[in-house]
Amino acid sequence: MPEETIVETDTIAKIPASEYGNRIENVLKGFSQHKFDAICHRVVHGGEDFKQSTIVTEEVKASIRKYERFAPLHNPNNLIGIESAEKVFPDTLQVAVFDTAFHQTMPPSSYLYSIPYEYYEKYGIRKYGFHGMSHRYVMERAEQLLEISASKLRLLSCHIGNGVSICAIKHGKSYDTSMGLTPLAGLTMGTRSGNIDPSIISFIQDIEESSTEGVIDILNYKSGVLGISGVSGDLRDVMEAAKAGDKRCQLAIEMYTTRIHKYIGLYLARLNGVDGIIFTAGVGENSPELREMICAGFEYAGVVLDYEQNRNKHGERFISAQYSPIKVMVIPTNEELIMARDGYALLPKLRENKRTAEVVS
Ligand SMILES: Nc1ncnc2c1ncn2[C@@H]1O[C@H](COP(=O)(O)OP(=O)(O)O)[C@@H](O)[C@H]1O
Ligand SMILES: CC(=O)OP(=O)(O)O
Ligand SMILES: [Mg+2]
């Protein structure tokens, strides 16, 4: 892209789902003095249908709708975003950028579950992985920082925000990742359970006299750090309470960091070692204490943090000691930039589509 500058931003913080469409439309109307070539949308689940970003058509919207059941917290809102943009900017073409696309390079040994193969063949039940734009952005930055070309690079990207996922990157491509068919799998998150013994679902169903969907809701919204601490799903609140002596908050933090630690060990083995470990997203970028807890005990594997760089510096940087064989980096993520670059790359195609549409109508 010739220029990568942010001209204006606006955000919507925690609002009820019923108000989401209206609020998005209002935000978009606030930008109506601008002339856009494309509007790019984050879409969390694209299944196996999308290996890269794409122009939004009716078929693309049908696919996004089809995958709602695999990403119930995200895809419905992503679609509302697209439809609101179509309303406010009817002449602008829309682009969908998928969380799952980056992970389409995983081998079957990473993405298949050990269940009858026909569930994959007939129903697409497999691991898809998420946060793809974030893992891709930080990988591209790490390539620059480490001065190792993508074709040789082995990395662990730890995206630790509200959702948490780790990606094992081999030769510049996603090789394995912690989230699964849905963003509920893998690590302990703010309110999501991550991996549990699947039999627990039927036990909770009986205890709560609930439907399966009801139990999945408990695992999505009432579990993770919130469920264990009983205080909050926001790590800042839980850390404060833990420091004040709250035992369940201390336990929640220990479980949260221990699980990330275990996954790092798992993927160090899967990749036969790595060149670097990246911390990104809300918690990964902003909590030196949690980064220390996660890395502690990996000195034997070649991970040595630099206290000063980790604790007292900010922004994109190395936080490992100069002699550390594995380099540890904090890289603030930029999913929007990846989306804008993908939209820009699609511009020739977008213009062609627009001309065809004008001829037809
Ligand atoms: N200084 C901090 N210490 C610990 N956690 C933080 C800090 N700053 C932000 N966070 C956490 O980051 C989370 C948001 O991360 P973010 O990547 O923005 O989320 P999302 O997954 O919604 O994009 C918040 O829930 C909060 O727990
Ligand atoms: C896919 C996912 O979990 O996204 P987020 O972290 O934004 O909730
Ligand atoms: Mg995010």
Q: How far apart are CA 291 and CA 261, in angstroms?
A: 10
Contact between residue 306 and residue 314 where contact means Cβ atoms under 8 Å apart:
no
Q: Which atom of ligand 2 is nearest to the CA of 163?
A: 6
Q: Which residues have C-beta atoms less than 6 Å from ligand 2? A: 44, 74, 99, 130-131, 161-163, 183
Burial class (CB in 10 A: 0-12, 13-18, 19+), 292: middle
Q: In the predicted model, is pLDDT for residue 173 greater than 90?
A: yes
What is the spatial distance between Cα 89 and Cα 26, in angstroms, rounded to a whole number? Answer: 12
Greater pLDDT, 188 or 3? 188
Residue 116 within a domain: no
Confidence band, pLDDT 50/70/90 cuts, at residue 73:
confident
pLDDT per residue as tens digits for the range 224-256: 999 999 999 999 999 999 999 999 999 999 999
**Residue 10 assigned ligand-binding role:** no
Question: Within this chain, do residues 154 and 255 fall inside the same structural domain, yes or no?
Answer: yes
* Residue owning the nearest CA to atom 3 of ligand 1: 287
Q: For residue 154, report the phi and psi dihedrals to the nearest 5 degrees.
A: -120, 125
Residue (of 145, 142, 146) closest to 157 by Cα position: 142
Tokens standing for 253? 């933090």
DSSP one-letter code for 163 = S
Confidence bin at 353 (pLDDT 50/70/90): confident
Please check whether residue 159 lies inside any domain of the structure. yes
Decide if 283 is inside a domain: yes
Residue 134 in this model has a pLDDT that exceeds 70? yes
- Residue of the nearest CA to atom 3 in ligand 2? 163
> Which ligand is nearest the CA of 11, by number?
1
Same domain for 70 and 219, yes or no, is no
Clarify whether residues 154 and 223 are in a common domain.
yes
Q: Are residues 172 and 205 in the same domain?
A: yes
pLDDT of residue 359: 62
Cα–ligand 3 centroid distance for 117 (angstroms) = 32
Are 215 and 299 in the same domain? yes
- 310 and 261 share one domain: yes
Statement to judge: residues 91 and 75 lie in one domain: yes
ipTM of model = 0.97
Q: Using a pLDDT cut of 90, give the percent of the chain over it.
A: 87
pLDDT digits (tens, 9 = 90+) for 36-58: 999 999 999 999 999 999 999 99
Tell me: do 297 and 353 sit in the same domain: no
Task: Give mean pLDDT, residues 274-286.
Answer: 98
What is the set of active-site residues?
Answer: 99
With respect to residue 295, please indicate whether it lies within any of the assigned structural domains: yes
CATH code for position 294: 3.30.420.40
Query: Per the annotation, does 159 bind a ligand?
Result: yes
Q: What is the pLDDT of residues 283-315, one digit of tens each?
A: 999 999 999 999 999 999 999 999 999 999 999
Q: 198-221: per-residue pLDDT in tens?
A: 999 999 999 999 999 999 999 999
Measured CA to CA in angstroms, residue 91 lies from 29, 63, 87, 94 at distances of 14, 22, 9, 9
Which positions ≥6 away from 119 have C-beta within 8 Å? Answer: 113, 125
The predicted pLDDT at position 228 comes to 98
285 and 323 inside one domain: yes
- For residue 66, CA distances in Å to 17, 77, 86, 304 come to 19, 14, 20, 45
Per-residue pLDDT for 117 more than 60? yes
**Average pLDDT rounded to a whole number, residues 141-166:** 96
Amino acid 337: pLDDT: 96
Q: Which residues line ligand 1 (CB under 6 A)?
A: 161-163, 190, 234-236, 281-283, 286-287
Q: Residue 105 domain-assigned?
A: no
The average confidence (pLDDT) of the chain is: 95
Annotated binding residue 201: no
Ligand-binding annotation for 286, yes or no, is yes
> Residue 128: phi, psi to the nearest 5?
-110, -40
The pLDDT assigned to 300 comes to 95
Mutate which of 103, 130, 165 for ligand 2 pocket (most atoms within 8 A of beta carbon):
130
Angle between helices 288-295 and 235-243 (to 10 degrees): 80
Please tell me the predicted confidence (pLDDT) of residue 155.
98
Write out the residues surrounding ion ligand 3, Cβ under 5 A.
161
Residue 7 has pLDDT above 90, yes or no: no
Same domain, 90 and 173: no
Residue 123 lies in a domain: no
Q: What's the CA gap between 118 and 125, in Å, rounded?
A: 9
**Amino acid 12: pLDDT:** 84
* Residue closest to 260 by CA, chosen among 219, 237, 292, 228: 292
Nearest to 222 by CA among 210, 235, 212, 231: 231
Ligand 2 pocket mutation, candidates 64, 70, 131, criterion most atoms within 8 A of CB = 131
CA angle 347, 102, 42 (to 5 degrees): 55
Indicate whether 179 pLDDT > 70. Answer: yes
Domain shared by 211 and 307, yes or no:
yes
How many domains is the chain built from?
Answer: 2
Look at residue 360 and tell me whether its pLDDT is greater than 60. no
Residues 157 and 286 in one domain: yes
Average pLDDT over residues 71-98: 94
Expressed in angstroms and rounded, the spacing between residue 279 Cα and the centre of ligand 1 is: 12
77 lies in some domain: yes
Q: Which of the ligands is closest to the CA of residue 164?
A: 2
How many C-beta neighbours within 10 Å does residue 290 have? 19
- Ligand at minimal distance from the CA of 99 is 2
275 is in an annotated binding site: no
Q: How far is CA 42 from CA 14, 75, 96, 229, 343, in A?
A: 17, 9, 6, 31, 11
Residue-number span of the structural domain to which 53 is assigned: 17-98+336-360
* Weakest-pLDDT range from 28-32, 283-287, 293-297, 356-360: 356-360
Ligand 3: distance of its center to the CA of 162 in Å? 7
Q: Is residue 156 part of a domain?
A: yes
